[in-house]
């Protein structure tokens, strides 16, 4: 599963280096429950389903044949998860006769009394006739899983304008038992076949192979899907809708993209790297893509980012970017490789329990680094690494959590940035420590040993130990079964008389836990680099290096690989040297950050001017945004460079960014450039240009915004249109503004960016009716967030926006408006 993280890192949040609090969660009684593996009494063997859908009631009528056998001990009963169903028949076929079986059903578990005691060598098949009622399922457990319907009917009656009718399922974690009775645990695996009867105008998607399609006389069609390799129930999938299927291929296997029809022409620009990704992963793993086909489908109103259902990935419809959006590159390439890598890590070898979710999600997260590095270069790979560290650090609760956790409030809580971002970095550090060839050989061994089975973190360790011949318990204990990360304080001193440098690395995390870290220290002297491999093992470690001439730079963590925070007491000259000679993404980024904070120094300013032409686009934008343009000497120095970037940068996001900054100069002479760029094919460039234009010629920008508004504009252009309307400050534009804001996809970056402006406008609004509509739009945004994001973001929106708006309205004597806001605070 892929969470939508962009929001979490985009909202302003503060996080300062402080002692990691390991007592944060210790008070919650739910955290005292040991989450044991689910006991195996019976094991699934095969699941056969016949289903048809009632769009009027949002029901599914199902017939299931569940084949199982006792796990080891003889048993005369079978418990199946079956959430919120109406159970009609439970029976068993005996000598060609259907024998009804006694059962108890409490709305979530179906307890069946078998006709006799079975032994583990005996398979038996239970037949169940049932109705699945996903909208009537009582939410179980915590608020985090209110979206656990399993089966979703989207616009089933066709009453919502501009929204297609779709059916799709979302099983992880244990929600597929809403639509078929099963043992809904990740450590069960079985083969399956599903017959879906649907209106003939729709297409279907499910796991495995489409073996036949039969037209029925009543305007329906029955599609028979067969999956003849075992996988876990949470990975079962059905999708139904009016999609275009765009065909692709990988080594003779079908690769299909299911998109809404208007996106058929761009489907290959969105998904077309899939075969190359399959080839890349198969090659590095030494393990061929294991399944019969690979399809990807988009979903409206999806409750997560994406889900790796075996052979049938489901993505949020945000992936459906139009040709102009794609001018900036596919913003969702990481989703595509993440879910694909799960086909090996998660689907082929599956976590034994949610406690070991790292075996699914850390790998999928790490695959984003592997792909970025392979396809877009070392900088791109390193950038994913750095951003994941940021995501992990963004939540101050994360450092107190173990990666493998047997105590958690709710299994959904396992899907956090410890499991994803930190887990991915732990794999990346391990790869660096043991080397690529040993790393991938161990992954291959792990896949070979556990294919079509389940594993826990120790199984992974043993594969690495077998390949490397080393004991790795220390690594697993520290990173998998432990919490936190090192916080370094690094200082340098030089004794020119003795010609000796001293580096002191102190671990100041203040948790009492001291990390054992292998790392490289590079000493740059007289134009050449000498690498020293060292170990950190103490609260304070000192290292001594001889020199002839005082080194230009001592670069601790030369590979910039360690998951850490640090205070690195280098000089400005060290950082400038680092930018020019160490050259990794993070080497350069650290130098840019340091120089950004020392813009009074001419040498720092010179470095920033140089970094505006950094080979990696993101660092060009980082530098640009860090410039202190209130300083005339900086403004004068960088203006020609910014102008060049605004005109010519090969990356459209950098171009757009430079245009946006030039706009703040409010110079008439740039007007023609802005005007010309408003028609750029990239929404980012056009949007920034429109907003920049509004700084030099507001009436013309307003006029253009009204023109552009007539065509469907997305992304930054839509955001700019809304922003120009807001800037115009005329409440008569309110309908445009609210419409533009509402039509931004809930989880899009432009909505995140526009949101504060929209909230600011809402605050100014006098007309109570319009004010309420604006508040409704904010509340709709807040409440449409998927459950995985909802908790944190809702709180931010309530506390940072809604509550202050209410307070200000109260203070202004607008009781009615204040009251309205308060009623929405839940
Ligand atoms: Zn995932």
Which of 638, 561, 562 minimizes the C-alpha distance to 607? 638
Q: How far is the CA of 303 from the centre of ligand 1 (A)?
A: 14
Q: How far is the CA of 102 from the centre of ligand 1 (A)?
A: 40
Q: How far is the CA of 415 from the centre of ligand 1 (A)?
A: 9
Q: How far is the CA of 360 from the centre of ligand 1 (A)?
A: 7
Q: How far is the CA of 307 from the centre of ligand 1 (A)?
A: 7
* pLDDT in the model for residue 112: 98
Q: How far is the CA of 17 from the centre of ligand 1 (A)?
A: 29
Q: How far is the CA of 569 from the centre of ligand 1 (A)?
A: 38
Q: How far is the CA of 488 from the centre of ligand 1 (A)?
A: 31
Q: Is the pLDDT score of 200 beyond 50?
A: yes
The pLDDT tens digits of the residues spanning 76-100 come to 999 999 999 999 999 999 989 999 9
* pLDDT in the model for residue 744: 83
Q: How far is the CA of 170 from the centre of ligand 1 (A)?
A: 13
Neighbours of 299 (CB within 10 A): 24
Q: How far is the CA of 186 from the centre of ligand 1 (A)?
A: 14
Q: How far is the CA of 110 from the centre of ligand 1 (A)?
A: 30
Distance (Å, whole) CA 716 – CA 583? 32
Q: Which of 9-18, 394-403, 405-414, 727-736 has the lowest mean pLDDT?
A: 9-18
Which of 728, 732, 796, 798 minimizes the C-alpha distance to 757? 728
Q: In what order do the strands lie in the sheet with 517-525?
A: 528-536, 517-525, 553-556
Q: How far is the CA of 585 from the centre of ligand 1 (A)?
A: 26
Which of 246, 126, 247 minimizes the C-alpha distance to 180? 126
Distance (Å, whole) CA 232 – CA 527? 56
Q: Are residues 19 and 805 in contact, defined by beta-carbon separation less than 8 angstroms?
A: no
Q: How far is the CA of 37 from the centre of ligand 1 (A)?
A: 21
* pLDDT in the model for residue 152: 97
**CB burial string 586-621: b at 16+ within 10 A, e below:** bbbbbbbebbbeebeeeebbebbbbbbebebbbbbb
234: its two tokens = 């949470």
pLDDT, mean of residues 563-584? 98
Question: With the C-alpha atoms ordered 801, 807, 811, 814, is the resulting torsion angle positive or negative?
Answer: positive
* pLDDT in the model for residue 142: 38
Q: Is the pLDDT score of 535 beyond 90?
A: yes
What SS3 state is found at 44?
strand
Radius of gyration, CA atoms only, the chain: 29
Q: How far is the CA of 452 from the centre of ligand 1 (A)?
A: 18
* pLDDT in the model for residue 736: 83
CA distances from 427 to 116, 465, 584, 635 (A): 49, 14, 19, 43
Q: How far is the CA of 365 from the centre of ligand 1 (A)?
A: 7
Q: Are residues 519 and 503 in contact, defined by beta-carbon separation less than 8 angstroms?
A: no
Q: How far is the CA of 694 from the centre of ligand 1 (A)?
A: 42
Q: How far is the CA of 258 from the centre of ligand 1 (A)?
A: 20
Q: How far is the CA of 686 from the centre of ligand 1 (A)?
A: 34
751: its two tokens = 């909505």
Q: How far is the CA of 549 from the centre of ligand 1 (A)?
A: 50
What SS3 state is found at 13?
coil
More confident residue, 797 or 619: 619
Distance (Å, whole) CA 218 – CA 379? 57
* pLDDT in the model for residue 678: 97
Q: Is the pLDDT score of 714 beyond 80?
A: yes
Q: How far is the CA of 562 from the centre of ligand 1 (A)?
A: 23
- Within 8 A by CB and 6+ apart from 110, the residues are 79, 80, 81, 82, 85, 87, 90, 103, 104, 128, 181
The protein residues having their C-beta less than 5 angstroms from ligand 1 (an ion) are 1-2, 361, 364
Q: How far is the CA of 44 from the centre of ligand 1 (A)?
A: 24
Q: How far is the CA of 340 from the centre of ligand 1 (A)?
A: 9
Q: How far is the CA of 153 from the centre of ligand 1 (A)?
A: 23
Q: How far is the CA of 354 from the centre of ligand 1 (A)?
A: 13
Q: Is the pLDDT score of 9 beyond 50?
A: no
* pLDDT in the model for residue 765: 84
Q: How far is the CA of 449 from the centre of ligand 1 (A)?
A: 22
**Three-state SS string across 583-610, please?**
CCHHHHHHHHHHHHCCCCCHHHHHHHHH
Query: How is the chain split among helix, strand and coil, in percent rounded to 5?
Result: 45, 25, 30
Q: Are residues 401 and 392 in contact, defined by beta-carbon separation less than 8 angstroms?
A: no
Q: Is the pLDDT score of 263 beyond 60?
A: yes
Neighbours of 783 (CB within 10 A): 13
Q: How far is the CA of 763 from the centre of ligand 1 (A)?
A: 39
Distance (Å, whole) CA 622 – CA 749? 17
Q: Is the pLDDT score of 215 beyond 80?
A: yes
Element (H, E) at 771: helix 768-784
pLDDT, mean of residues 635-649? 97
Q: How far is the CA of 1 from the centre of ligand 1 (A)?
A: 3
Q: Is the pLDDT score of 144 beyond 80?
A: no
Q: How far is the CA of 347 from the centre of ligand 1 (A)?
A: 11
Q: How far is the CA of 338 from the centre of ligand 1 (A)?
A: 6
Q: How far is the CA of 95 from the centre of ligand 1 (A)?
A: 45
Q: Are residues 132 and 138 in contact, defined by beta-carbon separation less than 8 angstroms?
A: no
624: its two tokens = 């640009």
Q: Which of 248-257, 685-694, 757-766 has the lowest mean pLDDT?
A: 757-766
The pLDDT tens digits of the residues spanning 479-492 come to 999 999 999 999 99
pLDDT, mean of residues 612-630? 97
316: its two tokens = 């949020």
What DSSP line would sit under 653-707, residue for residue?
HHHHHHHHHHHTT--GGGHHHHHHHTT-SSHHHHHHHHHHHHHH-HHHHHHHHHH
Q: How far is the CA of 306 from the centre of ligand 1 (A)?
A: 7
The model's confidence at residue 421, banded by pLDDT at 50, 70 and 90, is very high
CA distances from 79 to 113, 407, 435 (A): 9, 25, 47
The pLDDT tens digits of the residues spanning 15-32 come to 223 333 444 445 788 888
Distance (Å, whole) CA 159 – CA 378? 49
Q: How far is the CA of 89 from the centre of ligand 1 (A)?
A: 37
421: its two tokens = 């971002």
* pLDDT in the model for residue 788: 55
Q: How far is the CA of 364 from the centre of ligand 1 (A)?
A: 5
Distance (Å, whole) CA 773 – CA 781? 12
Q: How far is the CA of 212 from the centre of ligand 1 (A)?
A: 31
Q: Are residues 295 and 258 in contact, defined by beta-carbon separation less than 8 angstroms?
A: yes
More confident residue, 443 or 763: 443
Distance (Å, whole) CA 671 – CA 187? 63
The residue whose two tokens read 């105008």 is: 201
Which of 170, 106, 88, 98 minimizes the C-alpha distance to 134? 170
Which of 49, 40, 67 minimizes the C-alpha distance to 124? 67
Q: How far is the CA of 305 from the centre of ligand 1 (A)?
A: 9
Q: How far is the CA of 346 from the centre of ligand 1 (A)?
A: 8
What SS3 state is found at 49?
strand
| Mean of all residue pLDDT scores within the chain | 93
Q: How far is the CA of 371 from the centre of ligand 1 (A)?
A: 15
Which of 581, 580, 576 minimizes the C-alpha distance to 605? 576
Q: How far is the CA of 337 from the centre of ligand 1 (A)?
A: 10
The model's confidence at residue 8, banded by pLDDT at 50, 70 and 90, is very low
Q: How far is the CA of 762 from the centre of ligand 1 (A)?
A: 37
* pLDDT in the model for residue 4: 53
Q: How far is the CA of 645 from the centre of ligand 1 (A)?
A: 36
Q: Is the pLDDT score of 800 beyond 90?
A: no
Cα 752 to its chain centre, rounded Å, is: 16
Q: How far is the CA of 372 from the centre of ligand 1 (A)?
A: 16
Q: How far is the CA of 420 from the centre of ligand 1 (A)?
A: 8
Distance (Å, whole) CA 502 – CA 554? 10
What DSSP line would sit under 56-74, residue for residue?
TTTEEEEEEEEEEEESSS-
Distance (Å, whole) CA 229 – CA 290? 9
Q: How far is the CA of 551 from the centre of ligand 1 (A)?
A: 44
What SS3 state is found at 564?
coil
* pLDDT in the model for residue 420: 97
More confident residue, 753 or 282: 282
Q: How far is the CA of 623 from the centre of ligand 1 (A)?
A: 32
Q: How far is the CA of 345 from the centre of ligand 1 (A)?
A: 9
Angle between helices 602-611 and 585-596 (to 10 degrees): 140
Q: Is the pLDDT score of 812 beyond 60?
A: yes
State how beta strands 293-299 and 312-316 pair. Answer: parallel
Distance (Å, whole) CA 608 – CA 287? 45
354: its two tokens = 């949610």
């Amino acid at each position: 599963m892929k969470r939508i993280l962009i929001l979490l890192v985009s909202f302003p949040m503060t996080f300062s280096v402080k002692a990691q609090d390991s007592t944060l969660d210790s008070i919650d009684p739910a955290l005292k429950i040991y989450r044991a593996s689910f006991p195996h009494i019976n094991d699934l063997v095969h699941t056969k389903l016949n289903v048809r859908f009632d769009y009027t009631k949002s029901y599914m009528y199902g017939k299931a044949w569940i084949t199982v056998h006792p796990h080891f001990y003889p048993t005369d009963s079978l418990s199946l998860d079956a959430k919120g169903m109406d159970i009609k028949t439970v029976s068993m076929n005996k000598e060609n006769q259907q024998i009804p079986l006694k059962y108890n059903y409490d709305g979530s578990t179906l307890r069946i009394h078998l006709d006799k005691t079975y032994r583990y060598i005996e398979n038996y098949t239970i037949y169940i006739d049932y109705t699945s009622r996903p909208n009537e399922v009582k939410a179980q457990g915590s608020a985090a899983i209110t979206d656990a319907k399993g089966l979703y009917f989207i616009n089933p009656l066709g009453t919502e304008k501009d929204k297609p009718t779709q059916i799709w399922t979302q099983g992880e974690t244990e929600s597929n038992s809403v639509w078929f009775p099963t043992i809904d645990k990740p450590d069960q695996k079985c083969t399956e076949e599903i017959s879906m009867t649907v209106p003939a105008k729709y297409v279907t998607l499910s796991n495995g192979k489409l073996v036949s399609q039969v037209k029925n006389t009543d305007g329906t069609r029955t599609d028979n899907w067969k999956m003849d390799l075992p996988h876990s129930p949470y990975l079962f999938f059905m999708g139904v809708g009016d999609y275009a299927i765009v065909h692709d291929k990988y080594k003779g296997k079908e690769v299909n993209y299911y998109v809404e029809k208007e996106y058929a022409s761009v489907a290959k620009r969105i998904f077309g790297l899939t075969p190359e990704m399959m080839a890349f992963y198969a090659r590095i793993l030494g393990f061929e893509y294991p399944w019969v086909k690979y399809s990807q489908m988009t979903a409206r109103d999806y409750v997560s980012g994406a889900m790796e259902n075996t052979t049938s990935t489901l993505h949020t419809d945000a992936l459906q970017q139009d040709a102009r959006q794609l001018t900036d590159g596919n913003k969702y390439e990481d989703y595509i490789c993440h879910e694909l890598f799960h086909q090996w890590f998660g689907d082929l070898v599956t976590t034994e329990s949610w406690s070991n979710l790292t075996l699914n999600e850390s790998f999928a997260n790490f695959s984003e680094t592997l792909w970025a590095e392979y396809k877009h270069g070392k900088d791109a790979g390193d950038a994913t690494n750095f951003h994941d560290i940021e995501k992990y650090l963004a939540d101050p609760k994360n450092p107190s959590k173990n990666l493998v956790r047997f105590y958690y409030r709710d299994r959904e809580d396992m899907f956090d940035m410890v499991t994803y971002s930190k887990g991915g970095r732990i794999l990346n550090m391990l790869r660096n420590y043991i080397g690529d060839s040993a790393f991938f050989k161990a992954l291959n061994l792990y896949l070979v040993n556990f294919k079509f089975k389940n594993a826990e973190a120790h199984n992974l360790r043993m594969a690495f130990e077998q390949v490397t011949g080393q004991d790795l318990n220390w690594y697993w204990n520290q990173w998998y079964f432990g919490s936190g990360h090192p916080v370094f304080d690094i200082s340098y001193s030089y004794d020119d008389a003795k010609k000796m440098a001293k580096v002191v690395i102190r671990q100041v995390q203040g948790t009492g836990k001291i990390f054992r870290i292998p790392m490289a220290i590079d000493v740059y002297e007289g134009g050449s680099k000498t690498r020293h491999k060292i170990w950190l093992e103490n609260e304070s470690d000192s290292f001594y290096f001889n020199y002839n001439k005082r080194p230009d730079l001592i670069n601790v963590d030369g590979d910039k690989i360690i998951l850490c925070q640090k205070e690195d007491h280098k000089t400005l000259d060290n950082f400038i040297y680092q930018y020019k000679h160490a050259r990794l993404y993070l080497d350069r980024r650290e130098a840019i950050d340091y120089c950004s904070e020392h813009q009074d120094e001419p040498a720092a300013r010179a470095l920033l001017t140089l970094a505006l032409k950094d080979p990696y686009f993101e660092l060009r934008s980082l530098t640009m945004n860090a410039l202190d343009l209130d300083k005339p000497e900086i403004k004068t120095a960088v203006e020609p460079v910014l102008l060049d970037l605004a005109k010519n940068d090969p990356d459209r996001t950098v171009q757009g960014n430079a245009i946006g900054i030039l706009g703040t100069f409010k110079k008439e002479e740039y007007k023609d450039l802005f005007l010309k760029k408003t028609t750029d094919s990239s929404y980012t460039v056009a949007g920034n240009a429109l907003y920049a234009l509004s700084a030099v010629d507001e009436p013309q920008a307003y006029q253009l915004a009204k023109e552009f508004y007539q065509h469907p504009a997305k992304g930054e252009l839509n955001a700019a249109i809304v922003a120009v309307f807001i800037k115009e400050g005329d409440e008569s534009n309110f309908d445009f503004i609210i419409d533009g804001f509402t039509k931004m996809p809930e989880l899009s970056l432009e909505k995140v960016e526009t949101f504060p402006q929209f909230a600011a406008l809402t605050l100014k609004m006098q007309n109570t009716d319009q004010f309420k509509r604006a508040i409704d739009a904010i509340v709709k945004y807040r409440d449409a967030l998927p459950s995985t994001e909802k908790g944190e973001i809702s709180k931010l929106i309530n506390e940072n926006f809604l509550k202050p708006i209410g307070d200000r309205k109260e203070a202004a004597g607008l009781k009615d408006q204040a009251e309205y806001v308060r009623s929405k605070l839940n």
